[in-house]
Amino acid sequence: MAGIWPGDTQCVVMLSFDMDGPSAMIRRNPEVERMPSARSMGEFGPDVAVPRILAMLRDFEIPASFYIPGWVAERWPGTVEAVAADGHEIAHHGYLHEPPASLQGAEEGEVLDRGSEILERITGQRPKGYRSPSWELSDQSLSLLADRGFVYDSSLMGDDAPYFVDAGDGRRLVEVPVHWSLDDAPFYPFNPAVGRTEVMASPQQVYETWASAFDELYERGRAYALTMHPWVTGRAGRLSMLERLIRYIRAFDHVEFARTVDVAEAYRDRAS
């Protein structure tokens, strides 16, 4: 087959869900802690959307990856346990959704350790994957991740299939790249509490963007990595669009759905 994958795989599809709850909006605007309406929009994610997403993934028998800030995991440990019990990957996504570039000095390492400890306490496993909140790494992030034994990062946009990034001192990490066009957040941004008042795209527009990207990445034999947020994509009309997209993708031959950590480890092992 044409493309980068071994065997007869033509395209690897990674569905990922950043279970931010209200953490990202609180980080952007601390006033949201005292704004029950705005906060509840985020709380809908772990409370209502994640159980629906888990049921959908179970029906399709698709493994996925969930990136969970420690602050959210502390408040919804049962939801984290339910995600892990279904065999999905639990990965690191900061504590209170801090973009690493916004942290000073030792803070970034402290946030990494705090998030890992919370996820390990709940799931029994230390996360191997990291996705930076808001996809803003600092210039020391990769080396801090390598210090802590992470296998991969998923925050950069330098390719549309896995690649290695330099983590300093002769070390390298697998990068599983992302892009805003394959993220639900730019399409459905309406949230006055953080100043987002643009008109929301329709699920049909998002479907067209995401399906046409799949067509081309499949043709080229690359990776198809979708980033979604339960409080955003879990809303009515959007989740059914995702189901339609999954059915569309599954009609292609030689497509493999995988957790990001499994793709990253296989990529690392093939190269060694």
Minimum CB–partner distance for residue 128 and Zn ion (Å)? 18
DSSP 3: S
Closest CB 227 distance from Zn ion, rounded Å: 9
Query: Closer to Zn ion at the Cβ: 68 or 264?
Result: 68
Which amino acid, one-letter code, is at 27? Answer: R
What minimum distance in Å lies between the beta carbon of 255 and Zn ion? Answer: 26
Q: Indicate the residue among 20 and 98 with the shorter CB distance to Zn ion.
A: 20
User: Which range binds Zn ion by CB under 5 A, 10-18, 30-38, 190-198, 262-270?
Assistant: 10-18
Piece of 19-27, 162-170, 187-195, 252-260 that binds Zn ion (CB under 5 A): 19-27
3-class DSSP assignment, residue 21: coil
Separation of alpha carbons 48 and 232, rounded Å: 11
Asked whether 175 and 153 are in contact (CB, 8 A), the reply is yes
Specify the DSSP element, H or E, that contains 129.
strand 129-130
Torsion sign (Cα): 81, 46, 232, 95? negative
CB closer to Zn ion out of 133 and 203:
133
Q: Which of 10, 13, 18, 175 binds Zn ion (CB under 5 A)?
A: 18
> Is 92 in a helix, a strand, or coil?
strand
Q: How far is the CB of 103 from Zn ion (least distance, A)?
A: 15
Q: Which is nearer to Zn ion, 18 or 98 (CB)?
A: 18
Which contacts qualify for 110-114: CB closer than 8 Å, 24 or more apart? 112/144, 112/145, 112/148, 113/148, 114/70
Binding residues with Zn ion: total (CB under 5 A):
3
Q: Which amino acid is at 101?
A: A
Q: Is 183 a residue that touches Zn ion (CB under 5 A)?
A: no
70-109 binders of Zn ion (CB under 5 A)? none
Helical pair 77-85 and 107-123, crossing angle rounded to 10 deg: 70
Residues 23, 41: Cα–Cα separation, whole Å: 11
Whole-number minimum distance, CB 18 to Zn ion, in Å? Answer: 4
Minimum distance from residue 141 beta carbon to Zn ion (Å): 15
How many CA atoms, within 13 angstroms, populate the side-chain half-sphere of residue 261?
19
Radius of gyration of the chain (CA): 18
Q: Which residue is nearest to Zn ion (CB)?
A: 18
Q: Does 20 bind Zn ion (CB under 5 A)?
A: yes
CB of residue 168 to Zn ion, shortest distance in Å: 25
Please list every residue from 120 through 159 that binds Zn ion, using CB under 5 A: 133
Site of interaction with Zn ion (CB under 5 A) = 18, 20, 133
